[in-house]
Structure 1
Amino acid sequence: MNLVTVYSARKIITMDHNCPIATHVAVKDGLIVGVGGPDCGDGWGTVTHDNSFVDKVLLPGLIEAHAHVSAGGVWRFTYCGHYTRTDPDGTDSPGVATYDALIERLRVIAAKTPPGEPVVGWGFDPNFLKGRRLDKAHLDQVSTNHPVAVAHSNFHLLSANTMALEKAGMAQGSNIQGVMRGADGLPNGELQEFAAMGPVMSVVGLNFRELSDRSAVEGYGKVARNCGVTTVADLLSDLEDAEVTMLEKVTGDAAFPARYVPIMNAMRDDPAFEAQRAIALRERTTPKLDLGRAKLFTDGAIQGGTAMLKAPGYFQMEDHGIWNMEVDHFREAVRALHKAGVKTHTHTNGDAASELAIEAYEAALLETPDADHRHTLEHVQLADLAQFKRMRALGLTCNVFTNHIHYFGDLHWSLTIGPDRARRMDAARDAYDVFGGDFAIHSDAPVTPMAPLFTAWVAVNRLTEKGRQLGASQQISVSEALHTITMGAAYVLKMDDKVGSIQCGKHADFCVLDGDPLDCDPVTMKDIPIVTTVLGGEATA
């Protein structure tokens, strides 16, 4: 068909340097065929003008290049975090400010739950509350007749009550690294990192695979649409055949509002086998389901004390740094996946973790050169300028966990790493200068809420919850921040030929705003309402 729709807007911020600002965009068969003025669709077919957005501002559809599908599924459990959070259907859950409030919230759930059935909370962070860290004695106050577990906000730690520990066979002890002990020498209920958490997670049904089911994916699509996102990644997914079949059906539904990019868990089997599995998945890629990338891990979480830090280490908290993959296994996985041509995304929070990853990729590239692999280091919260330069020299890119500045910056200043490193952590300015914009910033939802415009606001202003400006030297401009949630994120996902800018030949994916981020006080840009998104030329809501 030769039907062309020309959308008009008050302003179109294209992120294409050839035509940075426009007022009209022409769409045919889901693709952009022209950008400019009212006549940009002329010659492509029968033109219809759509003035639905005539008083709005259009951006390219925003891209969340690091989040987790559990942001859609975790709401089946009870939110217990510090901040008020909003579920996929728009319902707010207030934060908890005391242990008493946490215990009471879970008691209400326990009272409605048959004895012996699990009670599960999520989103908690003990660093925000006064007193000792959450342990089994706290959670025994919720119930002694239910296994009770609370996942911390970083999802790298978990606290459990006595019954949960007993059912997991851990109440009397365990030799697993990360099982914390009390003064009596017995596990106190805090479990750090995946090996230690796993047995209790199985007992209470807190299963990442189940948090990736059809309902979770559909909820994840809602989360994305609500914040202007049209391309959304899931940074850890097993992607077994049944799951991929489900994803094909869900994303194949015209009502699903985003392009979905799940990253395969490549840590479960022999690295060479995992590489072939990733390659095979590419054959199942569709316009709304992009497959074939692999995920690896190094360390844990800074605010949990499990990230791997270089000297001088942690500031006012204990160092419990943990490698989530054995170092030799990690190096071999990097080598095998790179050799097979599989793009990888590697979790690196601490600067020692970034160092390990850089060295592993350097060795892999010496063995198997590749001019455009775009392996990505994820989070890079303490990476410094020298490490960014080494990444760029190797062809690596990065995805910076900018949201940490606002949500956890005050804790980093006073507790985890101290003022000096807190001022330059999540160093978007250094990254922009080194990578020239070819990097992304992210939310890691559900760790923090998915909202790329807010994430951009953090990168621009670097304001913590308490209003402290955490390192003005690492601020970037509004236009630079917008680049990192559009073209930069598309580059990181190796999708910059398809999405990321409003440009002829790309998908007609737009974020519609009721305000102009380039023409407002940068402190207020986070408050600009998201009106809707457009995917392949069709409004999603």
Structure 2
Amino acid sequence: MIDKILITTLAIVLLLGCENKSKQMETATANLYFNGHIITMDTEDPTYADVIVEQDGKIAFVGTLEEAEKQFSNLNKIDLNGKTLLPGFIDPHSHFGMVSNTMGQVDLNPEPVGTVENIDDILIKLKNYKEENNIPDGEWIYGWGYDDGELAEKRHPTKKDIDKVLPNNPVYLQHTSGHMGVANSLGLEELKVNSETKNPKGGNIDRFPNTQDPTGLVQETAMYPFVRLMLEKLASKQEEFFETTQEYYASNGITTAQDGMTDRNTIRFFQSQADEGKFKIDLISLAGYAELESNLKDTTLLFKTYKNGFKIQGTKLVADGSPQGKTAFFTKPFLTEVPGCNHDCRGLPSLTQETINTLFVMAYEKDNQLFIHCNGDATVDMIITAHENACKVLNQPLDKDRRTIIIHAQFSRPDQLETFKKYNMEPSFFTNHAYFWGDVHVENLGKERADFLSPMASSIKLGLKPTNHSDATVTPIDPIFTIWTAVNRVSRSGATIGEAEKVSPFHAIKAITANAAYEFFEEDIKGTLSTGKLADFVILDKNPLTVEAMEIKNIKIMETIKEGKSIFARENDNEIVNKN
């Protein structure tokens, strides 16, 4: 008798539960998007859905209008009016903190990002910045984005140039590559760089011909003290520019951003902003390798775990430099003159093989995901060697699902791509280089190497899941432009840089949605329009899969939606609304 009562009671509870759930589905408001191009990105070929339903910040339904109306009685219908809805863009690699810091610096970018054409333009901008901002003598002034290859003089500015307009302020100008910069005389003096200073390992202090007198140009590890001081100086402005930086990312359709190398203090700052509820988008941080050992021992640092929209995913290593700056490390030499080098100029690694080996062992032992900056093929060889060594030392499988990410991987050879596939490593490419520096790469490296820049098509054929990034501040945050460069691979001069490596618009989008989610172990919650995933959307005015290839870059972001909430909207062609 007791058993019968228990069974009856349980049946009633279950029945009531089902009724309550059914009533909740009927009464809870759900947003249904229809009458547009809804591209799900969850298949190997383009697939469209008639409608998509968002409820409580997640995707509740993807399918036909008829089926949606059967399941949901309380639908708020949103007419897309022919626009295109995609998963929110996931940033595979940029520098959120550096983007924020540029808001307190002088913009020295050439066209199409800025207006600088020659060294005189740089000097005028520096002088005007001091005057317009009432900066007193003795205070540091920073600039960013100059590109010696795009200056009329085809050279870096020197300390003598800068001293002409700012003799009483220490100055440091960051090169567009982020791998070198120029200081004036006071700047060099403050960092104790002079004719007696020796080049650090993995770096170069450029000198005037036939002397030991520094020109002001510091490359790779030689620039680290200048960048470290700059970050300290600008740290006080982090909070001031944080909101604006988020809005900038959101306005470009990005719902998950990355800070590509974050020191401990900035990690704490980001987490404090997250804990105060200030995040509109998700932010993924990569901790710096210099603090790897202490980071792995610190139980307060939660890797791979979101807390209020912020997480530390893994660790960033910098293994070489910049190809356009001629500091990337190659097996074959550059074809043009390299500053500070007279023979067999193949660039230079930033770390020794021994150091990289040690870092890999430390990370793999603790299952800490590694993201390694490397551009030249010689550096890729070093990374593969370090991977093999760590697996041997730790007795781990070579193909364990660690998702070690090779950031840029720009001049990886075909055999190296095959090794990535064999070892479960993934490349994050940088096809924007084809536009910004494709012509320079042909000159410096030759057409064969330049044409295999960021080989997305070859990687996809091998079954890899490549992503594609902006590396902002190196190039602007603009996922639409990134899609355009992957599809067209057109340089500034209009030349095609690697016809065979062009990809379809669908695969270019996949690199910043489904593949990007996979890069961060987030494929279960992001990257495709699939039931149960977060309702992170971007709405475009046109469909990238159907417009003429060269017109892709003109597509506009109309709205960005994070977990069902609109965080950016363009009301019309001229008016933009940033939403709280």
Q: TM-score, normalised by structure 2?
A: 0.85
Change beyond 3 A, Cα 1:40–1:527: farther
Shift of 1:158: 0.7
CA distance in 2, matches of 1:265, 1:164: 25
Secondary structure of the residue aligned to 1:222 is helix
Residues 275-286 of structure 1: pairs in structure 2 closer than 5 A: 275-277=296-298, 280-282=301-303, 285-286=306-307
CA distance in 2, matches of 1:228, 1:208: 31
Report the counterpart of residue 105 of structure 2 in structure 1: 77
1:380 corresponds to 2:409: yes
CA distance in 1, matches of 2:233, 2:469: 20
Change beyond 3 A, Cα 1:500–1:269: closer
Secondary structure of the residue aligned to 1:465 is coil
Change beyond 3 A, Cα 1:289–1:523: same
Shift of 1:207: 4.2
Change beyond 3 A, Cα 1:170–1:244: closer
CA distance in 1, matches of 2:441, 2:423: 30
The structure 2 residue matched to 1:118, chosen from 120, 135, 140, is 140
Shift of 1:27: 1.4
CA distance in 1, matches of 2:552, 2:405: 28
Change beyond 3 A, Cα 1:213–1:325: farther
Change beyond 3 A, Cα 1:327–1:381: same
The structure 1 residue matched to 2:323, chosen from 302, 308, 313, is 302
CA distance in 2, matches of 1:284, 1:13: 29
The structure 2 residue matched to 1:25, chosen from 52, 55, 66, is 52
Shift of 1:255: 6.2
Instruction: Please list every run of 5 or more consecutive structure 1 residues that lacks an aligned counterpart in the other structure.
Output: 86-93
Q: Return the letter of the residue paired with 2:63.
A: G
1:354 corresponds to 2:374: no
Change beyond 3 A, Cα 1:209–1:145: closer
CA distance in 2, matches of 1:478, 1:275: 40
1:533 corresponds to 2:556: no
Report the counterpart of residue 452 of structure 2 in structure 1: 424
Report the counterpart of residue 117 of structure 2 in structure 1: 97
Output the aligned Cα RMSD.
2.3
Q: Return the letter of the residue paired with 2:503.
A: I
The structure 2 residue matched to 1:403, chosen from 432, 443, 447, is 432
CA contact (8 A) 1:61 1:510 kept: yes
The structure 2 residue matched to 1:481, chosen from 498, 504, 508, is 508
1:145 corresponds to 2:168: yes
CA distance in 1, matches of 2:88, 2:544: 15
CA distance in 1, matches of 2:251, 2:72: 33
1:235 corresponds to 2:260: yes
Which 10-residue stretch deviates more, 503-512 or 106-115? Answer: 106-115
CA contact (8 A) 1:454 1:526 kept: yes
CA contact (8 A) 1:382 1:421 kept: yes
The structure 1 residue matched to 2:483, chosen from 456, 459, 465, is 456
Shift of 1:338: 1.0
Q: Return the letter of the residue paired with 2:235.
A: E
Q: Return the letter of the residue paired with 1:21.
A: Y
1:330 corresponds to 2:356: yes
CA contact (8 A) 1:110 1:142 kept: no
Residues 459-470 of structure 1: pairs in structure 2 closer than 5 A: 459-470=486-497
Change beyond 3 A, Cα 1:254–1:10: farther
1:494 corresponds to 2:521: yes
Shift of 1:269: 5.2
Report the counterpart of residue 7 of structure 2 in structure 1: none
Report the counterpart of residue 216 of structure 2 in structure 1: 189
Shift of 1:325: 2.6
CA distance in 2, matches of 1:277, 1:50: 48
Report the counterpart of residue 191 of structure 2 in structure 1: 168
Change beyond 3 A, Cα 1:211–1:462: farther
Report the counterpart of residue 38 of structure 2 in structure 1: 12
Change beyond 3 A, Cα 1:249–1:9: farther
Shift of 1:22: 1.0
CA contact (8 A) 1:80 1:96 kept: yes
Secondary structure of the residue aligned to 1:517 is coil
Shift of 1:40: 4.7
CA distance in 1, matches of 2:323, 2:237: 25
CA contact (8 A) 2:101 2:234 kept: no
Report the counterpart of residue 336 of structure 2 in structure 1: 316
Which 10-residue stretch deviates more, 288-297 or 156-165? Answer: 288-297
CA distance in 2, matches of 1:79, 1:350: 28
Q: Return the letter of the residue paired with 1:502.
A: L
Q: Return the letter of the residue paired with 2:544.
A: P
Percent identity for Structure 1 against Structure 2: 26
- Per-residue CA distance 1:436-455 (angstroms, 9 max, x = gap): 4x120111001001111211
CA contact (8 A) 2:302 2:311 kept: no
Change beyond 3 A, Cα 1:217–1:264: farther
Q: Return the letter of the residue paired with 1:266.
A: Y
Change beyond 3 A, Cα 1:216–1:277: farther
Change beyond 3 A, Cα 1:208–1:456: farther
CA distance in 1, matches of 2:308, 2:483: 27
Shift of 1:435: 3.1
CA distance in 1, matches of 2:232, 2:502: 38
Residues 131-280 of structure 1: pairs in structure 2 closer than 5 A: 131=153, 132-177=155-200, 178-183=204-209, 184-193=211-220, 195-201=221-227, 205-207=230-232, 210=235, 213-240=238-265, 243-251=266-274, 256-268=279-291, 270=293, 273-277=294-298, 280=301
CA distance in 1, matches of 2:115, 2:299: 39
- Per-residue CA distance 1:334-372 (angstroms, 9 max, x = gap): 111012111110111111111100111122223322631
- Per-residue CA distance 1:203-244 (angstroms, 9 max, x = gap): 6x344982993344433312211111111111101244xx44
Q: Return the letter of the residue paired with 2:355.
A: H
CA distance in 2, matches of 1:52, 1:173: 68
- Per-residue CA distance 1:104-133 (angstroms, 9 max, x = gap): 111112333211112211101111124343
Shift of 1:155: 1.2
- Per-residue CA distance 1:475-517 (angstroms, 9 max, x = gap): 1111111111111111112211111101011100001001111
Q: Return the letter of the residue paired with 2:119.
A: Y
Secondary structure of the residue aligned to 1:393 is helix
Which 10-residue stretch deviates more, 419-428 or 372-381? Answer: 419-428
CA distance in 2, matches of 1:278, 1:401: 34
CA contact (8 A) 1:235 1:295 kept: yes
Aligned structure 1 segments of 4 or more residues deviating by more than 6 angstroms: none
CA distance in 2, matches of 1:407, 1:143: 30
Change beyond 3 A, Cα 1:444–1:379: same
The structure 2 residue matched to 1:106, chosen from 103, 122, 126, is 126
Instruction: Please list every run of 5 or more consecutive structure 2 residues that lacks an aligned counterpart in the other structure.
Output: 1-23, 339-344, 569-580
Count of matched residue pairs: 524
Shift of 1:468: 0.6
CA contact (8 A) 1:35 1:504 kept: yes
Change beyond 3 A, Cα 1:346–1:277: farther
CA distance in 1, matches of 2:512, 2:361: 30
Q: TM-score, normalised by structure 1?
A: 0.91
